[in-house]
Amino acid sequence: MRNLVRYIISRTLMTIPMVLILLTIIFVVLRLMPGDPVSAMLGGHAPEKVIEQKREQLGLNRPMYIQYADYIWKVCHLDLGESMVLQQEVTEAISDKLPATIELTTFGMLITLVLGIFLGAYAADKRRTMRDSAIRLYGIVVYCIPVYWLGLMLQLVFGIWLDWFPIAGRTGARIFPSDFENTGFYLIDTLLMRDWTAFGDVLLHLVLPAFTLGLTLSGIFVRLTRANMLDVLKADYILAAESRGIGHGTIVYRHALKNAFIPILTMMGLQVALLMAGAILTETTFSWPGMGRLLLERIYLRDYPTIQGVIIVFALMVAFISLLVDIIYAIVDPRIRY
Amino acid sequence: MNYSMARGLARPIRFFAGMGRKYGVEWWILCVGALIIIAILAMAFFSPFIAPFDPYRQDAGPQLAAPGGPYLMGTDNLQRDVWSRIVFGSQTILRVSVLAAVISSFFGILLGLISGYAGGAVDRSLSLVMDAVYVFPGLILAIALAAMFGPGVLNITFAVAVIYIPTYFRLVRGQTLAIKQELYVEAARAIGAGSFTILGKYIFPNVIATTVVVFTLNVADAIMIEAALTYLGLGLPPSIVDWGMDLAMGKKYLPSGVWWLVTFPGMMISLLALGFTMLGEGLAEILNPRLLER
Amino acid sequence: MNPGDTILSIQDLHVEFPINIGTVRAVQGVSLELKMGEVMGLVGESGCGKSTLGFSILRLLRPPGRISGGKILYRDRDIAAMDRRELLALRGSKIAMIFQDPLTSLNPLYSIGDHFVETLKTHEKGLGRKDALVLAERMLESLGIAKDRLHEYPHQMSGGMRQRIMIGLALIMNPDLLIADEPTTALDVIVEAQFLDLLNDLKNRFNLTIILITHNLGNVAQLADRITVMYGGAIAEVAPAGSLFHDPLHPYTRGLLASIPNIRLDQPKLMTMPGSPPDLVDPPAGCVFHPRCPHTMDICRKERPPIAARNGHLVNCWLYKERP
């Protein structure tokens, strides 16, 4: 147990250089690239004086290394500056939108995991049959369907033609988030308030976006699970379990899947990037008021500090989730030596 | 006449069937992928001959006409012919995605070779940066770059190219490290081969075989990212025909039941990505016999 | 059932593996009788079908392998014809098996206790976890392993200890037949000797009938009552252990024994057998051993030899067929 704690601490410390590099990359991309953010922001037609004023206000006329130190210093204090177009702290804008994105990605990931892992395990169990081929085909095809198009198609079929689910936003017209808003996670908020109509409405709104995100990513997990299951099913302990009279289902879905899950878990850290990219696109398709929408809106408005802030938060989320995955890995696998 | 034609055909047929027996399903996956790519390439090369209308012409037909009659895939809100725009749009997406993959493979392979071969501090710092870019969501990076560069075909190409450099880098670096240890490379060094000879003659040819597969899969990915950027309204000026932009435009009319504006461009993006993915999958299984054991 | 009664009777068993270049005939018409309480050594070079024979007794052949003919009678019930439920009830509870590599035969994510509990609860539905653990503790202690190790994971134990746990798992349901597939190959020599002692001891304590599959003639010499020599998917010779070593009849058995290094100095020269094992996709016509046999006759190339009984041996060779 003490070992585990030590491992978690050292692994957490190891995230720091990664975060620093990510922050540096963001700095480089947003400040050193050709094109001055201020003139880009003001559309290139602003008078010289206005540009100069803005530059001063943003501290962009100081030497680069001072800007960099200042930038890192402020991020460390969770100070992301102030929006240039609205009278609003960037952190405030973000904390307003972050729960929506987390709610969406969490449910998307859940759908992906359930679908991907079950189908992958099933395909491996039935390897080299028609059902296996069909599932493999599903994996390839689904991987090639852009998440934004899948979203539009689901909107068309289930939102417009069948009219089962709403196709935009987090709540319907007659539901007012201000009535229950608390944590920002609407499902939790409505549950806390025991407001069942609102809960149902929020859940209905979540269905299509979450499935869009979940279905798209499930292709990768089908393939990962299937490949790992095939390896594990060849292992001696599977044969040994069979020789003891353990049933086939228990062997495939307990013995094998448990072992196959460990490499899948390690891969999950890398899929987070895809999850977030998918979330941004899904948010745009479904007018989901999350981080992706915020980022794009502010890009159109050329609100430079907010753009930077949103990207930083995405970077921090990536670092945090890969840390989390490693820690879960350490807890699940008894073999790991810290 | 007929006889000699049949004989001329017999050989390729035998070749295809033989490969099919040898590699099974994987060979057919590869063939289908190649077929899709060839069809869309032909579409791009011969666009003016295939498209019935000028893709920019705003009076090609009625507004928002459903597919049918002279309009295979209907018309859009500006009275343009959707099928003609699909045909010409293939040029944009192919140009951007293939060029982006070429650029990122060039830099990725180069840096990977240097890093793996040189080792030491160069390797450590390059790897650190590349790993960080690798875990960072590529789309977000591309969005930031596209926003900074402004719209333009070359700009979007670079934005897409940057995010795949680490993929090649990691692959090539790992292989370079492994091959460097091989006996035949040691032997070459012992008889006085210089670094360039070793890199060029021994390491590069080995590396290139695996990068072929990654390249094809990368193009598939780049296709989806390119279309994603233009779907989000970044990357290209509206004067260029592009599937992703048409998709974004069609989205506005979806709630009123206009299905053809989103269905067809999206289908084409998926199909093209599928073509490259299948080609890559097939190649991977055939070039790497170990995978066939399964 | 009394000692000496037949517990297992294999009758004209055929096993084949259809692969893309043809069909591997891994076992071709093997018949074998096993008496209650005896240790039967099953020897032969790799690829002779001895392991396949062992696996087919519990129908553990990996697809596409399958039993294509014959019967496997365990206490007069045909295993080859059993349905899934009967088969699962048989595996581990009546007939148990231990495997080559103790390092990989235990699930790395299951504690030792989990393994025992799972096996016990599979065969005795009503058993609670606590009671199962008590039974497991007793088994561990009888194998000389401290009972608190039940909570440990396979990677925390040595190879010899894991081998003993494998045995414990195999014997926890009190089976009467144990199939041991190359159980000592992965162990070093000292542990191997201890393990064979343990096996001998357990045989008496649990009234086991054992099939010991090995390519190591030393192992069988130490433990087996009778020895079956296999070659090319068929039985070459079955004989009491002592008699086989002193008076081998089949030319292949002779060759096999002559190729064992011997500590005695008067051994003239280590023999090697010319040729290589047969291709089982396209086996030689007649006797499978004839291309390598020093005594090949015309009939060997044409017809399969019948079983002949001679000096208490059963031998599959034309040399011993009394001609009419």
Closest Cα partner for C15 from C30, C3, C5, C4? Answer: C30
Assess contact for A332 and A265: CB atoms under 8 A: yes
DSSP C305: P
CATH number of B51-277: 1.10.3720.10
Regarding whether C143 and C188 lie in a shared domain, the answer is: no
Tens digits of residue pLDDT in C145-175: 888 899 989 888 888 888 889 999 999 999 9
Assess contact for B14 and B64: CB atoms under 8 A: no
Residue C217 lies in a domain: yes
Whether residues B140 and A277 touch (CB distance < 8 A) is answered with yes
Regarding whether C134 and C13 lie in a shared domain, the answer is: no
The Cα–Cα gap between C33 and C20 comes to 34
Q: pLDDT-based confidence at C264, cuts 50/70/90?
A: low
Q: pLDDT-based confidence at B147, cuts 50/70/90?
A: confident
Residue C110 lies in a domain: yes
The Cα–Cα gap between B261 and B252 comes to 9
Give the residue with greater pLDDT, B21 vs A331: A331
Q: Is the pLDDT of residue B270 over 90?
A: yes
List C34's β-bridge partners, or say none: C8
Of A237, A243, A333, which has the smallest distance from its Cβ to C107's Cβ?
Answer: A237
Phi first, then psi, for residue A44 (nearest 5°) are 80, -5
Chains A & B: contacts with CB separation below 8 Å: 138
Print burial letters for B14-41: b (CB count within 10 Å at least 16), e (below 16).
eeeeebeeebeebbebbbebbebbeebe
Q: Is the pLDDT of residue C105 over 50?
A: yes
Of A243, A250, A262, which has the smallest distance from its Cβ to C92's Cβ?
Answer: A243
Least confident of A111-125, B185-199, C300-314: B185-199
Regarding whether C118 and C266 lie in a shared domain, the answer is: no
Regarding whether C39 and C150 lie in a shared domain, the answer is: no
Q: Please report residues of C whose CB lies closer than 8 A to that of A252.
A: none
DSSP B75: B
The angle, 0 to 180 degrees and rounded to 10, between the axes of the packed helices A257-285 and B138-149 is 30
Closest Cα partner for A293 from A285, A284, A302, A304? Answer: A284
Of A237, A244, A333, which has the smallest distance from its Cβ to C119's Cβ?
Answer: A244
User: What's at A93, amino acid-wise?
Assistant: A
Q: Please report residues of A whose CB lies closer than 8 A to that of B277.
A: 140, 143-144
Q: Which of B28, B86, B127, B139 has the highest number of chain A CBs within 10 A, making it the mutation to test binding with A?
A: B139
CA distance, residue A241 to nearest chain C CA (Å): 8
So what's the pLDDT on residue A35? 55
Q: Is the pLDDT of residue B254 over 80?
A: yes
Q: Is the pLDDT of residue B292 over 50?
A: no
Regarding whether C219 and C115 lie in a shared domain, the answer is: no
Regarding whether C115 and C59 lie in a shared domain, the answer is: no
Which helix (H) or strand (E) covers residue B133, if one does?
helix B120-135
DSSP C323: P
- Of C172, C203, C231, the position where a domain reaches its end is C172
Which CATH number fits the domain that encloses residue C77? 3.40.50.300
Regarding whether C187 and C159 lie in a shared domain, the answer is: no
Closest Cα partner for B269 from A40, C72, A153, C208? Answer: A153
Tokens of A226: 């299937």
Regarding whether C191 and C161 lie in a shared domain, the answer is: no
Tens digits of residue pLDDT in A57-82: 777 777 888 888 888 888 888 888 88
Tokens of A17: 């250089």
Regarding whether C179 and C168 lie in a shared domain, the answer is: no
Residue with tokens 């899947």: A257
Residue C302 lies in a domain: no
Assess contact for C184 and C196: CB atoms under 8 A: yes
Q: Which residues make Cβ contacts (< 8 Å) with residue C226, sequence separation at least 6?
A: C38, C39, C40, C41, C238, C239, C240, C241
Structural domain boundaries, residue C203: 6-94+175-249+257-270
Whether residues A334 and C155 touch (CB distance < 8 A) is answered with yes
Q: Is the pLDDT of residue C271 over 70?
A: no
Q: pLDDT-based confidence at B95, cuts 50/70/90?
A: very high
The Cα–Cα gap between B267 and A194 comes to 43
Residue C288 lies in a domain: no
Three-state secondary-structure class, residue B279: helix
Q: pLDDT-based confidence at B180, cuts 50/70/90?
A: confident
Residues of chain A with pLDDT under 50: 338
Give the count of domains, chain C: 2
Residue C323 lies in a domain: no
So what's the pLDDT on residue B162? 92
The Cα–Cα gap between B29 and B280 comes to 9
Assess contact for C96 and C179: CB atoms under 8 A: yes
The Cα–Cα gap between A68 and A23 comes to 10
The Cα–Cα gap between A279 and C296 comes to 76
Regarding whether C114 and C75 lie in a shared domain, the answer is: no
Least confident of B191-195, B211-215, B257-261, C194-198: B191-195
Whether residues A152 and B232 touch (CB distance < 8 A) is answered with no
**Mean pLDDT, rounded, for C247-253:** 89
Regarding whether C34 and C88 lie in a shared domain, the answer is: yes
Is the bond preceding C64 in cis, omega lying within 30 degrees of 0? yes
Tens digits of residue pLDDT in B75-94: 777 778 888 888 999 999 99
Phi first, then psi, for residue A296 (nearest 5°) are -70, -40
Tokens of A106: 């969490």
The Cα–Cα gap between B272 and A144 comes to 9
Of C91, C106, C109, which has the smallest distance from its Cβ to A245's Cβ?
Answer: C91
Closest Cα partner for B84 from B96, B92, B72? Answer: B72
Assess contact for C309 and C239: CB atoms under 8 A: no
The Cα–Cα gap between A251 and A237 comes to 10
- C81, with CB counted inside 10 A (0-12, 13-18, 19+), is exposed
The Cα–Cα gap between C138 and A328 comes to 35
The Cα–Cα gap between C307 and B287 comes to 50
Start-end of H helices in chain C = 50-57, 84-90, 112-123, 129-142, 159-171, 189-206, 217-223, 241-246, 251-258, 298-302
Print burial letters for B146-184: b (CB count within 10 Å at least 16), e (below 16).
bbbbebeeebbbbbbbbbbbbbbbbbbbebbbebbeeee
Tokens of B38: 């060839």
- One-letter-per-residue 3-state SS of C56-113: HHCCCCCCCCEEEEEEEEECCEEHHHCCHHHHHHHECCCEEEECCCCCCCCCCCCCHH
Least confident of A334-338, B27-31, C117-121, C137-141: A334-338
- Of C140, C172, C204, the position where a domain reaches its end is C172
Print burial letters for A269-283: b (CB count within 10 Å at least 16), e (below 16).
bebbbbbbbbbbbbb
**Mean pLDDT, rounded, for B213-222:** 92
Sheet strand arrangement including C234-240: C95-98, C177-181, C209-213, C39-43, C226-231, C234-240, C313-316, C307-310
Q: C122 and chain A: CB distance < 8 Å anywhere?
A: yes
Of A240, A246, A255, which has the smallest distance from its Cβ to C105's Cβ?
Answer: A240
Q: pLDDT-based confidence at B3, cuts 50/70/90?
A: low
Three-state secondary-structure class, residue A173: coil
- Chains in contact with B, where contact means 3 or more Cβ–Cβ distances below 8 Å, are A
How many CB atoms within 10 Å of residue C89? 14
How many CB atoms within 10 Å of residue B75? 27
Assess contact for C35 and C211: CB atoms under 8 A: no
So what's the pLDDT on residue C267? 59
So what's the pLDDT on residue A338? 46
Q: A42 and chain B: CB distance < 8 Å anywhere?
A: no
Q: Judged by CB atoms within 8 Å, which residues 227-256 of B form the interface with A?
A: 227-228, 231-234, 247, 250-251, 254-255
The Cα–Cα gap between B14 and C30 comes to 43
Regarding whether C245 and C214 lie in a shared domain, the answer is: yes
Alpha-carbon C75 to chain mean position? 18
Give the residue with greater pLDDT, C121 vs C103: C121
Q: Which of B270, B271, B277, B285 has the highest number of chain A CBs within 10 A, making it the mutation to test binding with A?
A: B270
Q: Which of A16-20, A237-241, B280-284, C16-20 has maximum average pLDDT?
A: A237-241
Q: Which residues make Cβ contacts (< 8 Å) with residue A82, sequence separation at least 6?
A: A88, A89, A90, A305
Phi first, then psi, for residue C278 (nearest 5°) are -70, 155
Three-state secondary-structure class, residue C4: coil
Q: CA torsion angle for B21, B22, B25, B26 (degrees, to 10)?
A: -150
Residue C40 lies in a domain: yes
The Cα–Cα gap between A306 and A295 comes to 8
- A169, with CB counted inside 10 A (0-12, 13-18, 19+), is middle
The angle formed by the CA atoms of residues C244, C248 and C249, to the nearest 5 degrees, is: 130
Q: B158 and chain A: CB distance < 8 Å anywhere?
A: no
Q: Please report residues of B whose CB lies closer than 8 A to that of A22.
A: 132, 136
Residue C307 lies in a domain: no
Q: Please report residues of B whose CB lies closer than 8 A to that of A272.
A: 135, 137
Q: Please report residues of B whose CB lies closer than 8 A to that of A145.
A: 270
Minimum Cα–Cα distance from A234: chain C residue: C62
Residue C324 lies in a domain: no
